[in-house]
Amino acid sequence: MTATVPPARLAARVSAIGGSPIRDILAVTARPEIINFAGGLPAPELFDTEGIAAAFGHVLANDPGRALQYSTTEGEPALREALAARTTVRGLPTTADDLLITTGSQQALSLLATALLEPGDTVLVENPCYLAALQTFGFAGARIVAVPCDDTGIDPEALDALVAEHRPKLLYTVPTFQNPTGRTLPAGRRAAVAEVAARGGLWIVEDDPYGELRFEGDRVPWIATHEGARDRTVLLGSFSKVMAPGLRLGWLRAPAALRRACTVAKQAADLHTPTVNQLAAARYLADRDLDAHVAKVAAAYGTRRDAMLKGLPAALPEGSTWSRPEGGMFLWASLPRTGGYDLTALLGKAVACDVAYVPGAPFHVADPDPTTLRLCFVTQTPEEIAEGLERLGRALKS
């Protein structure tokens, strides 16, 4: 008789968390005929390919031994210094030592989860929330609790009550041009959030990959600049939306003890972020005008937002509402509740009409709203956006 050998097993967290529905949609929407409002893809024709190629060329020609070598976990000093200067100019005094370079800001979220969360700890998030953050906190075994939000984001009074009730370890927020809604938390609420966190003794993770992409209105200071938040806020930045996501370059600014813990976590994760990418980015910042490039990209994105705002009234059923972001990449729409719409179920019809969006339901931690959807307005030209919205209108009417 042969003994039954039990199957080799995966960790329970793998089946508990599951893949990102957006990544699944992206796989379906790779067909070239699809107008894709689903992926959060920066417009590829606006990448400064020439400038980035020149920076890589310079680094590989002049310092190949360093560029192709292992580096420190903290990151290349030239890049950290340039990023510290950019952060300081934007109102948050920062030195190179305050920063840890990460492999995209997504890695910063994983490092923070490792450094801060015990299984069962409570994490407060916006409702709806950036999906891959929910995955990361889920993998860490966190209890995720949604903070009630309105058209301008977190409601500080509701936050205060939840802090008292749940004693959370951290609040995760994307206060500027949020993914998925595109909304921005006003200055007064930022101060209130900082104050609640200071009183409640929790960390704030302020994730800001989109803030530079403003095409309208005035910049709102980071939560991290508020007095009460200084010693408890982690600010995350990224080159993904302003330079190119394929570089996988992000950074975190955190108080010393937490930054050291994240550095140790990063040693275990990937030793360091690719040296050549870091040095090329530092070279780019030294030789080129990133702000001028970003201004050009943001202006184009503003035109694309306008194209989307123009096409939406005809595409969506009467009674629909949508956000009007002043920057970033995403717009959030709600169809009338009385219409019985389920945007998850309708996605197949949309894809059959060669257009894609992301249903809003998976972004919600609580009360998933089936009538919501996220539309990315930056990947296509204004003409393609108009055509894509016509297709969406046909799909929703059929």
Chain residues binding ligand PMP by CB under 6 A are: 40, 104-106, 130, 174, 179, 207, 209, 238, 240, 245, 250
Nearer to ligand PMP, 109 or 347 (CB): 109
Nearest CA to 358 among 40, 72, 49?
40
Give min distance, CB of 239 to ligand PMP, in A: 7
User: To the nearest whole angstrom, how small is the minimum distance from the Cβ of residue 133 to ligand PMP?
Assistant: 6
Q: How far apart are CA 106 and CA 132, in angstroms?
A: 8
Count of positions (residues) in the chain: 398
The residue at minimum Cβ distance from ligand PMP is 104
Shortest distance (Å) from residue 22 CB to ligand PMP: 9
C-beta closer to ligand PMP: residue 238 or 320: 238
H helix intervals, the chain: 12-17, 21-28, 49-62, 64-67, 77-89, 104-116, 131-139, 156-166, 187-200, 256-270, 275-287, 290-315, 343-352, 382-397
Backbone phi, then psi, for 358, in 5-degree steps? -110, 125
- Cβ atoms of 174 and 207 within 8 Å: the answer is yes
**Minimum CB–partner distance for residue 330 and ligand PMP (Å):** 8
- 346 vs 376 by CB, closer to ligand PMP: 376
Nearer to ligand PMP, 284 or 341 (CB): 284
Q: How far is the CB of 62 from ligand PMP (least distance, A)?
A: 27
Q: How many CA atoms lie within 13 A of 230 on its CB side?
A: 7
Is 19 or 65 the residue whose CB approaches ligand PMP more closely? Answer: 19
Which lies closer to ligand PMP via its Cβ, residue 192 or residue 376? 376
Q: How far apart are CA 342 and CA 59, in angstroms?
A: 51
Least distance from C-beta 353 to ligand PMP, angstroms? 26
- Rounded to an integer, what distance in angstroms lies between the CA atom of residue 366 and that of residue 142? 15
> Are the C-beta atoms of 237 and 82 separated by less than 8 Å?
no
